[in-house]
Amino acid sequence: MNMPDLPGKMINLTIPDKPELYRSYLSFLQHGGLFVPSNDSFTMGDEVLLIANLPGFQEPKYLRTKVAWINHAATTSGQPQGVGLAFGDDQVAIEVKEAVEDLLPGLKLSDRPTYTL
């Protein structure tokens, strides 16, 4: 039985509500992405299987992602240590990106702080 190639790392992320989703969503990435608080060590470009439990979805979404942002340590402005994971352009990622952006209207117009910017 052939198993598909899976990314080397896997992270489970639960985002309970829209305010947390806003702080975690990476709208500046081409296909979107999510910030994941983590003390693990990552390198830019690492492939990560993200199991995302998000508001508005009944079941977790399994997303192939790549590390696109790293906060090596918590900052004085409240940004936690962790990684930003960029979504790919597959069907699941497109569905998640569209659903998140529907949940967060006006996302790009807001100046509220996030976990990355």
Q: Is residue 25 part of a domain?
A: yes
Q: Is residue 1 part of a domain?
A: no
Domain around 94? 9-105
Q: Give the side-chain half-sphere CA count within 13 A for 7.
A: 19
Residue 106 is predicted with a pLDDT of 67
Q: Is residue 63 part of a domain?
A: yes
Q: Is residue 111 part of a domain?
A: no
Residue 3 is predicted with a pLDDT of 47
Q: Output the pTM of the full model.
A: 0.85
pLDDT in tens, the chain (117 residues): 444 565 679 999 999 999 899 999 998 899 999 999 999 999 999 999 999 999 988 999 999 999 999 988 766 677 789 999 999 999 999 999 999 988 887 655 556 666 666
Q: Is residue 3 part of a domain?
A: no
Q: Is residue 56 part of a domain?
A: yes
- State the alpha helices, DSSP H only, in 1-117: 18-24, 91-103
Q: Give the side-chain half-sphere CA count within 13 A for 84.
A: 21
What is d(CA 85, CA 106) in angstroms, rounded to the nearest whole number?
A: 22
Q: Is residue 115 part of a domain?
A: no
Residue 13 is predicted with a pLDDT of 96
Total tally of structural domains belonging to the chain:
1
Write the CATH number for 29: 2.40.10.220
Q: Is residue 41 part of a domain?
A: yes
